Structure 1
Amino acid sequence: MRKPQIDYAAVFRALPGMVALLTPDLVYADANDDFLRLAGRTRDQLLGRYIFDVFPENPNDPAAAGMRETRESMLRVVATGERDTMALIRYDIEDAERPGHWQEHYWSPVNAPVFGPDGHVALIVHRVEEVTELIRARGGGSGGDRQARVLEAELYTRARELQEVNERLRQAHTREREVALTLQAAMLPAPSPLGHHRAAVRYRPAIGALNVCGDWYDLVELPGDRITVAVGDVVGHGLEAACVMGQLRSALSATARVAQGPAQALEALGLYALSVDGAESTTVVKTFIDWDSHTITYSSAGHPPPALLHPDGTVTFLDQATDPPLGARPEHVRRPQASTPFTEGATLALYTDGLVERRQEDIYTGLARLADSLTRHRKSEPEPLADALLADLLPSTGSTDDTALVVIRL
């Protein structure tokens, strides 16, 4: 059967209902025929113009909030890469042929992302259900008009109440975020000096109100010319995740001082995690670095593999001792560990998944991006290298997951 040739531009113009495309800067890129007709604007009046220059808010309505709510919804789509459905809003439109005359409209908008090749939001699909006529047309005659006005008022009131509830929830989430971040900062201080070895640590919170405080790191000096480094990620977000993170980090830090190696340390941590609510499915990678033998011994509980940058610019991922996350098995099983040699001048990077994972990408794409960045910045010291990795790998609009990063010069 011959594959039909589809003119997607023609399909877009013919879509039923109001649909427009906007750039992340909220500038119109296109609009279908129904959008132009029902909004009372021509294509030339829309394309290339900022949305609220085309549709300013009614200055005669002091309670108008449609512009702010629409802008916040679209910016959430750009920041999170997720669809955002708005509550019913009233948004009056100025008559294009009679400046100063405003026509009452009720809209039910949905905003959705379109991703570009780089994984970032390239366009916003703005679909609007125009429900003004439905509100006005209920019933008939003067009685119908009164009924329609009552319904209109009820709908508008319910929409405003819902928006007020959402705003209170947003404020509560913001307060919880601030408390969680304060607790996180107290439990993730800058590392103490590691002898003559150079290290850098970074923590970047997610942009979402609650998508923070599950990620952590830990560096401990051991007898001899040795240190142990761990990075972990608690499932969950917010204040509860920060509390679980603190318990696990402290337990692993203490265990590392008496364990024979990283596998034994993770075994002990796994047993402890069974008694901590919210600790199940936590991922963590533990490394022991020995400068006398020039070896890294490591074990991973479901965590992304550490990256070893060699002096020649090649990158090896330490993925030969990976086991399920904490609490994933009902019975106790010994965890694997592996060792790899390193040469002086190499660099080890441990990180959480926020650095490499992106929606609509497999993990190997993110790991390749990390390896490329490490190679390009291989001559940098740990502090500038850590900053360069975050700049290269985190979205410019912020990540929807928090990120922890440790960089050590070997």
Structure 2
Amino acid sequence: MSESGGPDVTSELRLPWDDDPEDLYEHAPCGYLTTLPDGTIVRVNQTFLDWTGYERSALIGHLRFRDLLTPGYQIYHETHYAPLLTMQSQVHEIALEVVRADGSPVSVLVNSTLERAAGGAPRVIRTTVFDATERRGYEKELLHARQIAEAAEKRVRVLQQIVADLAAAPTEAEVAEAVLRAPEPAFEATSSSIYLVDVERDQLIAVASTDPTTGNWDDMPRSSGRAVAEVARRGDLHVVHNLAEADEHFPDLARTMTASGRKTVVLLPLTTGPAEEQAGATVLGVLAFSFADERELSDGELRVIRLLGQQAGQALDRARLYDDLQRREERAAFLAGTTRALDEEHRLLQRGRRLVERVVPEIADWATVRLHIGSAGLREDAGGPGPDEELLAERITEVTRSVMPVFATDGDELGCTVLPITARGRVLGTLSLRMAAYRRGAEAEQAFLVDLADRAGLALENARLYEQERAIARSLQRSLLATDVPSGDPRFALETHYQAAGRDLEVGGDWFDAFLITPNRLAVVVGDVVGRGLEAASTMGQLRSAIRALANAAGGPARLLEGLDLFCQRVESARMATVVYGEVDLDACELVYACAGHLPPLLHQPAGSAEFLLQARSGPIGTRAGDRRRTEHRMRLAPGSRLLFYTDGLVERRDRPIDRGFEVLNREFSRLRGAPLKGLTEALSDTMVGRDHGDDVCLLCLTLGAEERLERTLGADPLQIALLRSDMRAWLIAHEVDQDCMDAVLLGCSEAVANAIEHAYRDDPFGVVDVAATITGDAVEIRVTDHGTWRGPGQSRGRGMQLIDEAMDDVMVDRGDGTTVTMRRHRGARS
């Protein structure tokens, strides 16, 4: 009993204890070790000896505790366990591996306590050791499960990113690129390739690969016996686990695996629906990826792989719809742009060239248009080297005869599509082009090309009709212009030019005329009828006839204009026409002129600058407003004067004031003052308006009398020599030079100019040659000067100089700033 009177609990719990304390130490459920501070084992219990298989005598006094550990844990004992025990005097649940007597490792958990002496120096280490084999196995299982979960999570993240990339990829090429990148991060694949199905060509197209050197990576028919084609036909996932399996079922794949060193290959169909729903799924491609080692894929990995194939297939389907829509929009824009581009050209040949320029390189790398419309044949090529000419000619003949297009196909020797260009039931020609192989067989592409050829045919037919009508209009207009202007009279020379509006089919009302009223009186006229078309052209012809009739009886330009005013009372369409009319007394070198609402003539006399003749102006023909009195102005002209008559198309522009047009005309006419008369009006028209202008242009240039001194400036162009000869011949005739002297002077002058162009300006196309000629009572003197550099003195003694020496009486060559050749020829025949 206790002091409180209750039962004695302690005496009731105390049991008889027969166990020996030593026996309890030896057979405790854990191992015990006692070591010195340096780790030498001084005591060990039987439990530890049973676990490890050591004899007590082999341990005590012979080994340290660290000597029982595996090599890695010996390092750990030295770097972590021992320092930590020294600092803290105890450590708990340290995981180590002990090597048994038979060499096998055993996992243990260790608790150690460092006992110190009275002065604090280490005295002894007591260690308990627990068997952790089962715990380590459990931890390994947990770690393995965790690794599997992390790998699955990683694959899911990768798949999510791939799905996001596929959703963001708008085109088939971008989808293919995203799918190609998927196997490496998702499944640690070594390489991958992707093939897409071309339904119309019934082929598998090799699109991309991360390792294109592995071989067997090319296009193939879907009927092929190769592994990729087989998977595309069957539409189910196929895993080739090793080389033996590949060799048994797919020899082509076995060769590829052998060459590349791959051990496992996965062939994944890219389908529009789940793999288990084969009836509703369409295979759009195959993704092939491989591993460097033999790989067993888990069920989870296979599910993810199938999900990838489904997501990729759906993305491809969406991208193909997008690509198709975009391609349709691009083709529609191309057709619309081509139609506009062809409409910008009005001539048949230019439209044919523009068509080829549009086709290459946007839709083809080579193209040619061949037209055979009457005499307007055309062959226009563009791009790189064309196909075999003989084969192409045969196909063109076939297409022209059948009026059916022939499209290039795989294996086609020519490799070129030929389309007939037709309009209104007739074949105008053919369009031949070479396109990229992967686009040849597409039905949409063929329909697009047929549409292109149809539009081209309509545009070219319109151009043909335009040129036909244009030719009729031009023939009509030119038939109404003066074609019999006087010529061959040494007292004057005429040069005319007419340029029709570049884009107008209708004839205009501009005209010029020149005729002799009497043997000594020359009439010149330029006019412009209001409006365009046949009525304007008819009125122009009537006015021209009326002027010729009135000039015979009129008393001068003023009276002639008054007669035209009366003429307008009977021909209403002639009202408001403008006319500049002049009469030249060829013997007295006197001009009398009048302007009825027309632009002023431009006069350039030998001395002085060019000037506009602004006197004797009045309103247009038949005007009912303003001053209707007709006046005229008389003036003398120096021999050699040039007088230019023109219509408003030469100077008027919508984007500049008329005064600016007069300034430009004055400058350009002055610049051409030294040019030969032949070709002067055409050159002036080209400079002022170009070749594509919206209004008609008429020019008439009159050179009056023979200049006392002929001065001309020529460009370094051999074609200029013929113009100079024509001008100089007229000048020599006007001065009554005999035939022998004239022939000699023309020969010597031509050779001297040719030498200057050839030797002084051989590398300078912008050089000029100055020619000056004077006539005295007994001789003609010519001086030809250039400002270039001849190669050497010997260059001046060639065949040309020999002809000059033979033709001329005196020849002198002066080399200073350039070269001057002075030649003199006596008048009259040589003895």
TM-score (norm 1): 0.59
Aligned twin of 2:509:
214
* Residue among 665, 672, 675 paired with 1:380: 675
Aligned twin of 1:180:
473
Pick closer, same or farther for the CA change 1:171–1:195 going to 2, 3 Å. Answer: same
* Residue among 330, 334, 341 paired with 1:71: 341
Shift, 1:370, TM fit: 1.2
Shift, 1:235, TM fit: 0.9
Pick closer, same or farther for the CA change 1:322–1:331 going to 2, 3 Å. Answer: closer
Note if 1:264 corresponds to 2:559: yes
Aligned twin of 1:5:
none
* Residue among 598, 601, 608 paired with 1:306: 601
Higher relative contact order (CA 8 A, sep 6+): 1
Distance in 2, Cα, partners of 1:385 & 1:243: 29
Note if 1:399 corresponds to 2:693: yes
Distance in 2, Cα, partners of 1:168 & 1:331: 50
Residue ranges of structure 1 left out of the alignment (5+ in a row) = 1-54, 77-98, 100-163
* Residue among 217, 230, 238 paired with 2:533: 238
What SS class does the counterpart of residue 668 from structure 2 fall into? helix
Could you tell me which amino acid in structure 2 is paired with residue 387 of structure 1? Answer: E
Could you tell me which amino acid in structure 2 is paired with residue 353 of structure 1? Answer: D
Distance in 1, Cα, partners of 2:552 & 2:574: 22
What SS class does the counterpart of residue 327 from structure 1 fall into? coil
Note if 1:320 corresponds to 2:615: yes
**Is the Cα–Cα contact under 8 Å of residues 210 and 237 in structure 1 kept in the other structure?**
no
Distance in 2, Cα, partners of 1:170 & 1:327: 40
**Is the Cα–Cα contact under 8 Å of residues 218 and 253 in structure 1 kept in the other structure?**
no
Q: Higher helix fraction: Structure 1 or Structure 2? A: 2
Shift, 1:261, TM fit: 0.5
**Is the Cα–Cα contact under 8 Å of residues 497 and 700 in structure 2 kept in the other structure?**
yes
**Is the Cα–Cα contact under 8 Å of residues 177 and 239 in structure 1 kept in the other structure?**
no
Distance in 2, Cα, partners of 1:186 & 1:60: 47
Could you tell me which amino acid in structure 2 is paired with residue 183 of structure 1? Answer: L
Aligned twin of 1:40:
none
Note if 1:204 corresponds to 2:474: no
Could you tell me which amino acid in structure 1 is paired with residue 688 of structure 2? Answer: L
The equivalences for 1:76-95 within 5 A come to none
What SS class does the counterpart of residue 645 from structure 2 fall into? strand
Distance in 2, Cα, partners of 1:65 & 1:327: 52
**Is the Cα–Cα contact under 8 Å of residues 569 and 622 in structure 2 kept in the other structure?**
yes
Note if 1:337 corresponds to 2:607: no
**Is the Cα–Cα contact under 8 Å of residues 57 and 66 in structure 1 kept in the other structure?**
no
Aligned twin of 1:349:
644
**Is the Cα–Cα contact under 8 Å of residues 356 and 370 in structure 1 kept in the other structure?**
yes
What SS class does the counterpart of residue 198 from structure 1 fall into? strand
Residue ranges of structure 2 left out of the alignment (5+ in a row) = 1-325, 347-362, 364-456, 705-831
Distance in 2, Cα, partners of 1:242 & 1:56: 51
Pick closer, same or farther for the CA change 1:172–1:243 going to 2, 3 Å. Answer: farther
**Is the Cα–Cα contact under 8 Å of residues 215 and 232 in structure 1 kept in the other structure?**
yes
What SS class does the counterpart of residue 539 from structure 2 fall into? helix
The equivalences for 1:1-400 within 5 A come to 65-72=335-342, 176-188=469-481, 189-193=483-487, 195-196=489-490, 197-210=492-505, 212-312=507-607, 314-329=609-624, 333-394=628-689, 396-400=690-694
Cα RMSD over matched residues?
A: 3.5
**Is the Cα–Cα contact under 8 Å of residues 618 and 627 in structure 2 kept in the other structure?**
no
**Is the Cα–Cα contact under 8 Å of residues 589 and 638 in structure 2 kept in the other structure?**
yes
**Is the Cα–Cα contact under 8 Å of residues 299 and 321 in structure 1 kept in the other structure?**
yes
Distance in 2, Cα, partners of 1:217 & 1:237: 16
After the TM superposition, which of the residue ranges 172-181 and 369-378 deviates more from structure 2? 172-181
Distance in 1, Cα, partners of 2:617 & 2:463: 39
Distance in 2, Cα, partners of 1:215 & 1:195: 26
TM-score (norm 2): 0.30
Shift, 1:333, TM fit: 3.9
Shift, 1:232, TM fit: 0.3
Deviations 1:282-341 (A, max 9, x none): 111000111322221111110001111111351121111111111222799431111122
Shift, 1:387, TM fit: 2.4
Distance in 1, Cα, partners of 2:650 & 2:327: 39
Aligned twin of 1:46:
none
Shift, 1:270, TM fit: 1.9
Could you tell me which amino acid in structure 2 is paired with residue 290 of structure 1? Answer: D
Work out the number of aligned pairs and report it.
271
Deviations 1:344-387 (A, max 9, x none): 11101101111111112222211111111111111223223212
Pick closer, same or farther for the CA change 1:168–1:275 going to 2, 3 Å. Answer: farther
Shift, 1:168, TM fit: 10
Pick closer, same or farther for the CA change 1:56–1:369 going to 2, 3 Å. Answer: farther
Q: Decide which structure has the larger Cα Rg and report it.
A: 2
Shift, 1:180, TM fit: 2.8
**Is the Cα–Cα contact under 8 Å of residues 306 and 349 in structure 1 kept in the other structure?**
yes
Pick closer, same or farther for the CA change 1:282–1:169 going to 2, 3 Å. Answer: farther
**Is the Cα–Cα contact under 8 Å of residues 234 and 244 in structure 1 kept in the other structure?**
yes
Pick closer, same or farther for the CA change 1:235–1:344 going to 2, 3 Å. Answer: same
Shift, 1:187, TM fit: 1.9
Distance in 2, Cα, partners of 1:366 & 1:66: 38
